[in-house]
Amino acid sequence: MPFRPCELLKIMKRHIALDQIENAEAPYDIIVVGGGATGLGTAVDAASRGHRTLLIEQADFSKGTSSRSTKLVHGGVRYLQQGNISLVLEALRERGLLYRNAPHLVHNMAFVIPNYKWWEGPFYGIGMKVYDSLAGRLGLSPSRNLSKEETIERIPTVETDGLTGAVIYHDGQFDDSRLAINLAQTAVGVGATVINYMTCVGLMKEQGIVAGILARDGESGREYEIRGKAVVNATGVFVDEIRRHDAYDSEAMIAVSQGVHLVLPKHFLPGNAAIMVPKTADGRVLFGVPWHDCVVVGTTDTPLPEKSLEPRALQQERDFIMEHAALYLTQDPRPEDVLSVFAGLRPLVKFGDSSNTAALSRDHTILVSESGLITVTGGKWTTYRKMGEDVVDHAEMVAGVEERECVTRHLQIKGWTQAEIKAPNLVLYGSESSGIRELMKDQPERSVKLHPDLPYQEAEVTWHVRQEMARTVEDVLSRRTRALLLNARASMETAPRVAELMGEELGWDKERQAREVAAYIQLAKGYDFLDEASMRK
């Protein structure tokens, strides 16, 4: 039976979270640092077991890597090619669980592998049958071979020169940052305290053992000493920085790899099937995935010496994706066609030579230091729940609290519904969509669209502030909606109106609104393919 938390009684409000932190009378059982996929999964798991849980995030939830994925919930065809069967098994099992626990966000999508050589049909066909069998009862749909005619029917814009047919298989597609917001809400619903724009600036120790964190509120500048029996470092590419608060000479445990994606208009890949190229020149899998009436194309695998909360696509990465898209599509994309370009950083656990990040481990790794600091890194969105379960198993031992059974395998994520939602822009809110409709009923003027080229309505912005802890224009346009990724230029044009709507809720004066707009436009220019190209000239 699914586990249904009493989450409807609890609303995610930042001032409530601050009050809970300031008035905590006892140490938290588990403090989680990091509000991406791994940290949020850990907080949901810990709180749902009944542990007093706090999660802090230095920026906004999923600000980093977790909002910049290829938008897939998948077993990993590439890992199957590499022979990493255990990782594929785990990911396929987790794919099936997430498909059940968040049906408003995770969808079954067909993926077509076009064949241009005689051996590709049987080779990939057999491989995908193995993929199907590994999924077992949690499989989505069986794979099969397609004729050339069936392939063109599925992918009308596929390159036909030399095409012999295709293999079709099924995986999951989702919206990453919307899942992150729903996980934060779910964590609050099962009793966690969750807050964004709160930075860990140090660790508290007693007799050499980690006993909490020092945190700074990014909005007020106030610093807090927050006691906790166990501290989990789930900060993605920044885990080594937190580890150096524990021991300044800690050796780096991750290498950073960058993945870049381009977003194109829907006509480049009409229909409802994705295209998958099993092996590109750099050894990666290339996807073209329908997403929110656009197409996400990626990704790259580029080792980087530095890390950033706002990584930027390198020129060679942009060129690589444009060239490969042209190889497999009849219509070659031009720079002016690109709606947005975004980059994300992968935290890869280092083993041996870290110069080839494509060969580094995608498995998650948990490390417990001598002082008791728990660090978790690696992994991917698909396995976030299992990562959280494994981390909490360790944290229970470190914290010395009662060991309790994990319940997240069947925990319904906030927004869970199987009801049909007719408004396309409200589908991703799931059961929460009724609240937005009520808001528009009370304020009909908020039913207008934010921008002619974007699917969102003004009422959604109000909802993001009231119910989803949105604090900046970027929070709304990048992660509560996906406007920044779907059309960077249109998102910049609507930023002033978003600032006005948020200002009504948060008490911003005109000067504050102007600062928010200026900051957002400066950030969004980095997602505008043409603007980025002109900046490099």
pLDDT tens-digit profile, the chain (537 residues) = 454 544 444 789 999 999 999 999 999 999 999 999 999 999 999 999 999 999 999 999 999 999 999 999 998 877 776 667 888 899 999 999 999 999 999 999 999 999 998 888 998 899 899 989 988 888 899 999 999 999 999 999 999 999 999 999 999 999 999 999 999 999 999 999 999 999 999 999 999 999 999 999 999 999 999 999 999 999 999 999 999 999 999 999 999 999 999 999 999 999 899 999 887 766 778 999 999 999 999 989 899 999 999 999 999 999 999 999 999 999 999 999 999 999 999 998 885 444 444 444 457 899 999 999 999 998 899 999 999 999 999 999 999 999 999 999 999 999 999 999 999 999 999 999 999 999 999 999 999 999 999 999 999 999 999 999 999 999 999 999 999 999 999 999 999 999 999 999 999 999 999 999 999 999 999 999 988 544 444
pTM for the complete prediction? 0.95
Long-range contacts of 475-481 (CB under 8 A, 24+ apart): 475/60, 476/502, 477/520, 477/524, 478/67, 478/177, 479/60, 479/61, 479/62, 479/63, 479/67, 479/177, 479/180, 479/181, 480/177, 480/178, 480/181, 481/450, 481/454, 481/456
What pLDDT does residue 350 have? Answer: 81
* Domains, in order of start, for the chain: 7-65+178-253+359-410 (3.50.50.60), 84-174+255-345 (3.30.9.10), 424-532 (1.10.8.870)
Say which amino acid occupies 238.
F
Three-state secondary structure call for residue 187:
helix
C-alpha span between 93 and 269 (Å, rounded): 29
What distance in Å separates the CA atoms of residue 161 and residue 169, rounded to the nearest whole number? 23
The H or E element that residue 176 is part of is helix 176-189
3-state secondary structure of 474: helix
Residue 178: is it exposed, middle or buried by C-beta count within 10 angstroms (0-12/13-18/19+)?
buried
Beta bridge partners of 169: 111
Largest CA distance in the chain: 71
Q: Are strands 223-233 and 28-33 parallel, antiparallel or unpaired?
A: parallel
Q: Is 468 exposed, middle or buried (0-12, 13-18, 19+ CB in 10 A)?
A: buried
CA 325 – CA 314 distance, rounded (Å): 17
Cα–Cα distance for residue pair 213/54, rounded to 1 Å:
11
CA-based nearest residue to 384, from 45, 100, 85, 131: 45
Q: Which distant-in-sequence residues (6+ apart) come within 8 Å of 158 by Cβ? A: 112, 114, 151, 152, 275, 328, 329, 330
| Cβ–Cβ under 8 Å, residues 169 and 111 | yes
What Rg, from alpha-carbon coordinates, does the chain have? 23
Residue 431 is given by DSSP the state: G
The residues facing 179 across adjacent strands are: none
The pair of structure tokens assigned to 62 is 């999923």
* Other beta carbons within 10 Å of 206: 9
Terminal-residue alpha carbon distance, the chain:
59
Nearest to 90 by CA among 378, 412, 417, 428: 378
- The strand pairing partners of 206, in sequence order, are 209
Amino acid identity, residue 86? S
Amino acid letter at 265? P
DSSP bridge pairs for 414: none
Query: Quick check: helix, strand or coil at residue 468?
Result: strand
According to DSSP H, which parts of 294-420 are helical? 315-328, 384-399
